């Protein structure tokens, strides 16, 4: 069967958050343009559907561009200008204008008030219908060529367009096609993940959460925040943040390294030792019954047993014993062996080299009338709605650029 030929003004490759946001914003400004979204899967907006546990973490309540960029291990510098044009406040207003109200949770994450990602999906689908945007699924792009126009060939069809927007996330196939257009691709490495450990004594403490400071001295990585002990090792914001900032180095290490945990967060080993000396002068209590700070009970028992002090009182301790306990409290060392994907939100670092993109328009510096938005770029963020904010900002900027051209 001969391929079906379609001529259109704008083609968007990738039916995810960035693709839909680009298409809708462009159609609102330029209803005269014909816009086609090509999605290789059977369904569009799949990542939107599963994000935030099916609630869709739309953005994050940080309203100042510079601190907002601090959540992007890759893209921090490049996003500062774009965030001055479209960021969190604009996102909230945009969704509100389109009938979706957002709410802020205690940790700053923002969700639709319905707590359902379907609300976002329905909003986008209704708007693509309203503006006659042609959404085509099961369109697996096989080749992209540049002539007088862009030519995009899928398994079944051929499309020609003046402006091509690529929002296909971390699709290896599309990355290969971008290389044929002279673009450099930074290799994909996992970004948001948790740390695995084979120490049964620790994994039996699953469910414990506390504020802690963590570091990987050999890779010069450190982080701080809520730490969660799980059935397979360590998770929580402190670990996820570190996994994002250290994505490339951790990948190179084969995910085998020593993790040092300060269970007392900011207290130094020396200060802890001084405090324990004072405790010895002051207390006849049994150590196992006299928890320091708010260390959770089960964790305190684990630490006291690791120091072999379960039957001792504070007054039984020598200076060396207290030094050892200080080290255990402020610099416990754990051997990490492997990683686990965080929930189903698989984020990768990697994608189009940022030097090859003009961030005033998100246009390619290598090809005319080629634009990128979302995770196809070598931009990724820590968890909390920041990856979506990158998609909204990029999509909005691309729509502006094409509308004005």
Which of 299, 317, 341 is at the close of a domain? 341
Q: What is the pLDDT of residues 227-249, one digit of tens each?
A: 999 999 999 999 999 999 999 99
Paired with 36 in beta bridges are 11, 134
Query: What are φ and ψ of residue 283, in 5° steps?
Result: -135, 135
Do 111 and 233 reside in the same domain of the chain?
no
Reported as type and span, the H/E element at residue 17 is helix 17-29
Q: Which of 298, 323, 341 is the last residue of a domain?
A: 341
Q: Taking residues 55-84, what's their average pLDDT? A: 97
User: For position 251, what pLDDT does the model report?
Assistant: 94
User: Same domain for 317 and 251?
Assistant: yes
What burial class does residue 236 get, using C-beta atoms within 10 Å of its C-beta: 0-12 exposed, 13-18 middle, 19+ buried? Answer: buried
Count of the separate structural domains present in the chain: 2
Confidence of residue 343 (pLDDT cuts 50, 70, 90): low
The residues pairing with 60 across neighbouring beta strands, listed in sequence order, are 109
CB atoms within 10 A of CB 108: 13
My answer on whether 18 and 98 are in the same domain is yes
* Same domain, residue pair 35 and 161: yes
Tell me which long-range contacts 272-277 makes (C-beta under 8 A, separation of at least 24): 272/326, 272/329, 272/330, 273/322, 273/323, 273/326, 276/314, 276/317, 276/322, 276/325, 276/326, 277/319, 277/322
What does the pLDDT read at residue 294?
84
pLDDT score of 2: 61
Q: pLDDT for 20-32, tens place per residue? A: 999 999 999 999 9
Tokens of 354: 């940022």
pLDDT in tens, 101-129: 999 999 999 999 999 999 999 999 999 99
64: CB partners within 8 A, 6+ apart: none
Q: Are residues 165 and 225 in the same domain?
A: no
Among 317, 341, 365, residue at a domain's last position: 341
Report which of 333, 346, 15 is spatially closest to residue 174, judged by C-alpha positions. Answer: 15
Cβ–Cβ < 8 Å for 370, 330: no
Same domain, 46 and 95: yes
- Residue 76 CA to residue 56 CA, distance in Å, equals 23
Question: Tokens 């601090």 identify what position?
Answer: 70
362 lies in the same domain as 317: no
Cβ distance 323 to 288 under 8 Å?
A: no
For the chain, helix (H) and strand (E) counts, in that order, are: 14, 22
Q: Are residues 169 and 245 in the same domain?
A: no
* Measured distance CA(199)–CA(336) in Å, rounded: 9
Range of the domain at 399: 4-189+345-404
Burial of 366 (0-12, 13-18, 19+ CB in 10 A): middle
Q: Are residues 268 and 297 in the same domain?
A: yes
Rounded alpha-carbon distances, angstroms, from residue 47 to 43, 58, 96, 168: 10, 12, 21, 12
- Distance between CA atoms of residues 210 and 263, nearest Å: 8
Count CA atoms closer than 13 A to 4's CA, side-chain side. 6
| CB-CB neighbours of 278 under 10 Å | 11
Residue 319 CB coordination number (10 Å): 11
274 with 171, same domain?
no
Alpha helices by DSSP H, listed for 220-313, are 237-245, 247-252, 269-282, 297-306
Taking 70 as the threshold, does the pLDDT of residue 1 lie above it?
A: no
Query: Confidence band (pLDDT; 50, 70, 90) for 283?
Result: confident
Regarding whether 288 and 139 lie in a shared domain, the answer is: no
Look up the pTM and report it. Answer: 0.87
Question: pLDDT > 90: what percent of the chain?
Answer: 89
pLDDT tens per residue across span 206-221: 999 999 999 999 999 9
Q: Are residues 175 and 69 in the same domain?
A: yes
Q: What is the CATH number of the domain that holds 98?
A: 3.50.50.60
3 state SS of 183:
coil
């Amino acid at each position: 069967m001969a391929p079906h030929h379609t001529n259109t003004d704008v083609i968007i490759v990738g039916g995810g958050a960035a693709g839909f946001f680009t298409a809708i914003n462009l159609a609102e400004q330029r209803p005269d343009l014909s816009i086609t979204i090509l999605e290789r899967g059977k369904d569009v907006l799949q990542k939107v559907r599963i994000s935030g546990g099916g609630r869709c973490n739309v953005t994050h309540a940080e309203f100042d561009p510079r601190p907002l960029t601090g959540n992007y291990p890759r893209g921090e510098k490049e996003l500062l200008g774009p965030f001055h044009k479209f960021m969190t406040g604009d996102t909230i207003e945009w969704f509100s204008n389109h009938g979706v109200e957002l709410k802020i949770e205690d940790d700053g994450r923002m969700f639709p008030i319905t707590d359902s990602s379907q609300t976002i999906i329905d909003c986008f689908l209704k708007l693509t219908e309203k503006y006659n945007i042609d959404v085509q699924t099961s369109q697996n792009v096989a080749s992209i060529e540049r002539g007088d126009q862009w030519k995009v060939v899928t398994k079944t069809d051929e499309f020609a367009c003046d402006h091509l927007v690529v929002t296909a996330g971390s699709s290896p196939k599309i990355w290969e096609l971008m290389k044929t257009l002279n673009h450099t691709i930074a290799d994909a490495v996992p970004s948001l993940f948790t740390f695995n450990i084979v120490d049964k004594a620790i994994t039996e403490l699953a469910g414990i959460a506390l504020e802690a400071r963590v570091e990987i001295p050999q890779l010069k990585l450190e982080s701080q925040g809520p730490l969660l002990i799980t059935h397979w090792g360590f998770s929580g914001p402190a670990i996820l943040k570190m996994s994002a900032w250290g994505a490339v180095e951790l990948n190179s290490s084969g995910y085998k390294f020593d993790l040092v945990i300060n269970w007392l967060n900011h207290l130094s080993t020396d200060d802890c030792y001084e405090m324990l000396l004072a405790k010895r002068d002051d207390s006849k209590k049994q150590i196992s019954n006299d928890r320091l700070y708010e260390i959770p009970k089960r964790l305190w028992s684990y630490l006291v047993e690791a120091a072999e002090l379960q039957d001792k009182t504070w007054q039984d301790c020598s200076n060396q014993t207290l030094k050892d306990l200080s080290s255990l409290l402020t610099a416990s060392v754990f051997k990490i062996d492997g990683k686990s994907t965080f929930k189903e939100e698989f984020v990768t670092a990697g994608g189009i080299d940022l030097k090859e993109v003009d961030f005033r328009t998100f246009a390619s510096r290598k090809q005319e009338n080629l634009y990128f938005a979302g995770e196809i770029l070598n931009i990724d963020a820590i968890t909390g709605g920041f990856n979506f904010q990158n998609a909204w900002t990029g999509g909005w900027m691309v729509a502006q650029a094409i509308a004005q051209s």
